[in-house]
Amino acid sequence: MNPSDNVLALETVNLCKHFGGLPVTQDVSIKVRSGERRLLLGPNGAGKTTLFNLITGDRLADSGQIKLFGEDITKLAMHKRAHRGMSRTYQIITLFPHDTLERNVALGLLALRRSRWDIFLPMPQDIRDEARRVLDLVGLEHLGDRPISVIAYGEKRRVEIAMALAQKPKVLLLDEPLAGLSSMERADIKALIASIPRATSIVMIEHDMDTALDIAETITLLHYGKVIVDGTREEVVADQRAREVYLGH
């Protein structure tokens, strides 16, 4: 099934960001169509995570626009973007270490519900059941009652993704989901990402080119905060400039 051409799930228009005097994001314009699997590539320091941070609202852009399904969210507070259907995972594990796996995913589910403001009743049972179901999707239901601190790194990565997936996002931003994993673990995560329904558009940052190229349909190559190449996988792989960026000048 091809990504539908008409609907732009995510769009940035001339996004710019400076840190001190240093330009970190320069006129970045990308278009992600609904259902697309986009890979954000680039050497270290290219500004990939910063771009993510601008899209999710971790940082405010200096200029430019961000649109989610046509709606301008450039100035929208971070937590509101989640309610518009955006979810992300982080490069470093940002799970709740003292809580169980079930509680971690449940917190992700609770975030979008009215009952998160309830100061009397404990977490609703249906949220906890749903959390279990999501853990089952990523094959971790049997560890549901263990605290995060005792499970393996690869399993933590899966919980990260589970937490984001639990919210049934329309746009999912994955920041280096394969980092630090063994090849077997990578295969698991790759299969997991491949199984995500097309209702969710995915933008992924990855370093491991071979693995990432398997999942990506389109690629945006960043270098020094600027978009160098942007197109389908075949186009970018064949592009001379991509070779230069990765193999040196």
Near other proteins by CB under 8 A: residue from 5, 71, 117, 249: 117
The residues, any chain, with a CB within 8 Å of residue 234's CB and separated by 6 or more, are none
Near other proteins by CB under 8 A: residue from 4, 14, 63, 115: 115
CA distance 60 to 16: 10
Put the strands of the sheet holding 171-175 in their side by side order: 86-88, 171-175, 201-205, 37-41, 218-223, 226-232
Binding status of residue 157 toward other proteins by CB under 8 A: no
Q: By C-beta, is 123 or 245 nearer to other proteins?
A: 123
The residues, any chain, with a CB within 8 Å of residue 114's CB and separated by 6 or more, are none
Binding status of residue 151 toward other proteins by CB under 8 A: no
Q: By C-beta, is 50 or 218 nearer to other proteins?
A: 50
Residues in the interface with other proteins (CB under 8 A) total 37
Q: How far is CA 103 from CA 129, 178, 215, in A?
A: 11, 23, 30
Taking the complex as a whole, the smallest distance from the CB of residue 60 to other proteins amounts, in Å, to: 9
One-letter amino acid at 227 equals: V
Give helix then strand counts, H and E, for the chain: 9, 10
Structure tokens at 61: 């852009």
Taking the complex as a whole, the smallest distance from the CB of residue 183 to other proteins amounts, in Å, to: 28
Near other proteins by CB under 8 A: residue from 70, 122, 197, 248: 122
Taking the complex as a whole, the smallest distance from the CB of residue 94 to other proteins amounts, in Å, to: 4
Region label for 151, one of left (φ > 0), alpha (ψ between -120 and 50) or beta (otherwise): beta
Stretch of residues binding other proteins (CB under 8 A), selected from 38-46, 103-111, 210-218, 227-235 = 103-111
Binding status of residue 103 toward other proteins by CB under 8 A: yes
List of residues contacting other proteins (CB under 8 A) = 56-59, 77-80, 82-83, 87-88, 90, 94-99, 103, 107-108, 110-112, 115-124, 163, 167
